[in-house]
Structure 1
Amino acid sequence: MNEQKLIVGSSEWLALPSLNVPAIKARVDSGAKTSSLHAFNIHSFTRDGENWVNFDVHPIQKNRKTVVRCEAKTIDKRVIKSSNGEREKRYVIRTTLELAGETFSIEVTLTNRDTMGYRMLLGREAMQGRMLVDPSEELCHGELNSEEIIKLYGISEPKHKGLNIGILASNPNLYSNQRIIEAGEQRGHNIHFVNIKHCYLKMDAESPAVLLRGGHSLNMLDAVIPRIRPSVTFYGCALTRHFESIGKYSLNSSDSISRSRDKLFSMQLMLKHGLDIPTSGFAHSPMDTNDLIEMVGGAPLIVKLLEGSQGRGVVLAETKKAAESVINAFKALNANLLVQEFVKEADGKDLRCFVIDGKVVASIERSAAAGEFRANIHQGGQANIVKITPQERALAIKSAKAFGLQVAGVDIIRSRKGPLLLEVNSSPGLEGIETATGKDIAGLMIRAIEKKLGWQPAPADKDQH
């Protein structure tokens, strides 16, 4: 009787012809009751009064570029306990399986297996009465090489199609966004500008999704680059978080962006990680104004609105009387503010260190326009290449790491006490630093995504880059 059963190894190449999947490498696991197939962009619908589902499959492991669109009738929705102990409600379909010239009808659950070793798992229900497993062997019924896979899936030029990368932003015409689009396309990727305000979220146990106005799913993206303006921080972070929840890589995580946008929390985080900052004060009551001023060494001093950005809401108070007036005026408006020491020796200059993937890739010195002070560098200031010290480099790297940012613009001033950290920006602009240094910062951001996702250009593409 055993002679009539197929002998299979711990993994086998098989086909799912009714799903138009001519080849998929499956892990054979008699310890798992149910078979499962990697699926994403899962959407249910009704056809002739019956429940159906359509979905996308990446049939080839470590290959996000080859996609097969499938549809099948659903026979059930079940709670399945995965190998890591988590429970998940999945659609169940019935499909045909071809292996070693034989065809079987099996039940398969649909789930995202991107992080698993195989795109499909063949469980014991599918094997029962049909197969015997020899765990010491694998690929008992043959291996497929890359040329055979290309032929089966009809993969054509471009031979090395790139990643699908979304830029989460508000204005496609900004220099930074244009440069990222340009850099990504030059490296062979498909770059999608995604207007944050035009997105909405589907929160559902079976088929969560990010949708663009008009109902277009963005679940096909491999990675996103958040470029969130301060006015949409809350929704932008919620959108980024949802992409992360459906398994998409974000160049800067939603948590790291949130940390950088809360000025008070960010300064407390800096202190927690032993990062040197200018002496600063924060209080709720106007009755504490005088103590705040004395705390930071008296006038002149800087007053910063916690909600401000890019130099807005930052005031230099040159006398104690002016400081009292500004602080009390802001307090009367129920505005939260910081009071910070004025570092005179900085002479209206700061350093912008651009950190990508734990390395300072470029640095510039920014000078405020004549008659202005450092906070107004963003409006009309000048930028020049500067050589930073090892101490300044270490401070920039440590700062980005403390916030959990893969890409950061770290602002530092030089003082008699040494370099002081002013701010860590999660969406740093590219124009000033690329213009001053001539470096392809946008391209380095794209390369950081490639590194994280394990993507490499084909040999012919490498020659072009």
Structure 2
Amino acid sequence: MSQNKVILGSEEWFSFPDLGIPTIKARVDSGAKTSALHAINIAPFVREGNNWVKFDINPIQNNLKTVIHCEAPLIDKRIVKSSSGFREQRYVIQTTLDIGDTNWTIEMTLTNRDSMGFRMLLGREAMSGRVLVDPEQSYLLAAQPSTDKLKEIYQNSEKAEGGLRIGLLASNPDLYSNKRIMEAGEIRGHQMEFLNIKECYMKLDATKPEIHYRGGKILDKFDAIIPRIRPSITFYGCALTRQFEGMKVFCLNSSTAITQSRDKLYSLQLLLNHGVDIPTTGFANSPLDTDDLIKMVGGSPLIVKLLEGTQGKGVVLAETKKAAESVINAFKSLNANILVQEFIKEANGKDIRCFVIDGKVVAAIQREALPGEFRANIHLGGTASVIRPTAEEKRIAIKAAKAMDLKVAGVDIIRSSKGPLLLEVNSSPGLEGIEGATNKDIAGEMIKAIEKNLKYKI
């Protein structure tokens, strides 16, 4: 019954609402069995136990600037023989095709069609029982849009979709902080992508630098990157951040800021040069002057810190001069670089963590060691409670973050008889403790900082 079928020409403009494609020109080919859609950066993934695939498409022929990021259920992988005889394994998706006033679900293979004249091919499997083809006609359902009209359609589509494309550059997607940042970005209408640092690799090129992801996906068209780099992979994580910066992508913390924050000696020197007070600290390369080094920081008890140590590791409390000499000389015999620091007894196992975002203290907690727990001027655990930092403590936290050029920082401060002293500045501070204690949406504040810096309004 032909009256119930849609009549198509050999070329038509279709749309795929589930993929966010408002219009695309297709070749209607009853000689081809399967339908095909142009796709690049194809990457399968699992969502709630089901197989999906994400990919990018340049929907307009010869226009690489317009990109749509798509996701669809993954139906199959098939070997497809092209018209030129080339056999290729392709991913197969299922989605809704809109044709004029009707629509139905079709299956399509994904392949790079840059060398073809059409971004889409509609095959007979998708047309069977629904379509008649008049090969002498074209654009029976919609007129051929002008170049300006196409630009308008896609601009309106992007505005309707809204949101920024933000990548979270980190190591563990299941970490509380990372899950919260992804969630906060999605709540505010942005496209969030988790980028595992170890699965990224770079192309260094003067004219076209690139970052690739597992399977060859090119990481481009990002508006912003949030680097959350473990200390153990600082070198490579900062190299990736630097590469994104070279591609003109806004990074919430810069590679330079992260690198200098991880160098304990340099960061302390930088803070002092900006007028931020720290506990008296000594550094030496030779063990020959151990006695004077101990006197320099006020004698025992004192703290010995490995420069490469992180989050409490490589930190020793030496309660007597003899113990201090023994620890210092032991480290030096291993050619380890160490800092020797005065012990602030009056802090009584407490410090203050100020969370600074874009030049403002958005939350603060006091952290207290459990009874009997060793705290060598650093936080090793215990309990956290809400605290209202003094104006001076806020000033120090903001000044420290600015000195390190960090837009996001966890600034640790200790109260002493000399006034508040800065202990450490963390460029990838955790969110769980401070969000749990304060009940504040710190992750949301990080996303707002990106919006502010990119002058994006929701």
**Short-chain TM bin:** 0.5 to 0.7
Matches within 5 A, 1:200-211: 200-211=201-212
Residue of structure 2 equivalent to 1:179: 180
Whether the aligned pair in 2 keeps the contact of 1:367 and 1:374 (CA below 8 Å) is no
Please give the per-residue CA displacement for 1:115-166, whole angstroms capped at 9, x wherever unaligned: xxxxxxxxxxxxxxxxxxxxxxxxxxxxx9xxx8886328449824211111
Distance 1:311 1:156, change over 3 A: same
Q: Is the 8 A contact 1:299 1:319 kept in 2?
A: yes
Corresponding residue number in structure 2 for 1:333: 334
Alignment of 1:160-171 (within 5 A): 160-171=161-172
- Paired residues for 1:106-255 under 5 Å: 152-153=153-154, 155-156=156-157, 159-255=160-256
Change (3 A) 1:70 1:356: farther
In structure 2, the partner of 1:57 is 65
Q: Kindly tell me: are residues 152 and 415 of structure 1, through their superposed partners in 2, closer, same or farther at Cα, counting changes over 3 Å?
A: same
- The Cα of 1:412 is off from its aligned counterpart by 0.4
Alignment map for 1:342-381 (pairs within 5 Å): 342-375=343-376, 378-381=379-382
The unaligned stretches of length 5 or more in structure 2 are 1-22, 24-39, 42-60, 71-111, 117-145
Preserved contact between residue 57 and residue 70 of structure 1 (Cα < 8 Å): no
Task: Return the TM-score normalized by structure 2.
Answer: 0.68
Which amino acid counterpart does residue 239 of structure 1 have in structure 2?
L
Number of matched pairs: 333
Q: Hey, what's the Cα distance between the residues in 2 that align with 1:346 and 1:353?
A: 16
| In 1: Cα distance, 2:344 partner to 2:155 partner | 64
Q: Is the 8 A contact 2:344 2:377 kept in 1?
A: no
Q: Residue 220 of structure 1: SS of its match in structure 2? A: coil
Q: 1:407·1:426 contact (CA, 8 Å) conserved in 2?
A: yes
Given residue 421 of structure 2, which amino acid in structure 1 is its aligned partner? L
Q: 1:332 to 1:54 in 2, by over 3 A?
A: farther
Provide the C-alpha distance between the structure 2 equivalents of 1:363 and 1:391, rounded to a whole number of angstroms.
13
Deviation for aligned residue 1:296: 0.4
What is the Cα deviation at residue 54 of structure 1?
7.1
Contact preservation (8 Å) 1:168, 1:193: yes
In 2, Cα distance between the equivalents of 1:447 and 1:334? 45
Once residues 241 and 396 of structure 2 are traced to their aligned partners in structure 1, the CA distance between those partners, rounded to angstroms, is 27
Cα distance in 1 between the residues matched to 2:422 and 2:377? 17
Unaligned runs of 5+ in 1: 1-21, 23-40, 43-52, 74-102, 105-143, 458-465
Residue 55 (structure 1) shift = 6.5
Any conservation in 1 of the 2:351–2:379 contact (CA below 8 Å)? no
Q: Supply the AA of the counterpart residue of 2:414.
A: I
Partner of 2:412: 411
Deviation at 1:375, TM superposition (A): 4.0
Which residues of 2 match residues 290-309 of structure 1 at below 5 A?
290-309=291-310
SS of residue paired to 2:259: helix
CA distance in 2, matches of 1:230, 1:267: 17
**How far apart, in 1, do the equivalents of 2:289 and 2:62 lie?**
62
Shift of the alpha carbon at 1:373? 3.0
CA distance in 1, matches of 2:398, 2:168: 24
Counterpart secondary structure, 2:64: strand
For residues 182-202 of structure 1, what are the alpha-carbon distances to aligned partners after superposition, in whole Å with 9 as ceiling and x for unaligned?
A: 111111111111111111101
- Determine whether 1:388 maps to 2:396: no
SS in 2 for 1:214: helix
Between the aligned partners of 2:188 and 2:326, the Cα distance in structure 1 is: 54
Counterpart Cα distance in 1 of 2:311 and 2:206: 39
Check conservation: 1:65, 1:163, Cα contact below 8 A: no
User: CA, structure 1 residues 289+277, in 2 after alignment: closer, same or farther (shift >3 Å)?
Assistant: same
**Radius of gyration: which is bigger?**
2
Which letter does structure 2 place at the counterpart of 1:331?
K
CA shift at 1:454, angstroms? 1.6
**Structure 2 SS opposite 1:56:** coil
Change (3 A) 1:195 1:375: farther
- Aligned partner of residue 276 in structure 2, secondary structure: coil
RMSD (Å) for aligned C-alpha atoms = 3.0
Q: In 2, Cα distance between the equivalents of 1:440 and 1:358?
A: 17
Give, in angstroms, the shift of residue 379 of structure 1.
Answer: 3.9
Return structure 1 stretches of 4+ with deviation > 2 angstroms.
53-56, 69-73, 148-158, 373-380
C-alpha change, 1:376 and 1:431, in structure 2 (3 Å) is farther
SS at match of 1:374: coil
Tell me the residue number matched to 1:420: 421
Deviations 1:63-110 (A, max 9, x none): x999xx99699xxxxxxxxxxxxxxxxxxxxxxxxxxxxx99xxxxxx
Q: Distance in 2 between matches of 1:70 and 1:454?
A: 36
Counterpart residue number, 1:99: none
Cα shift at 1:374 = 2.6
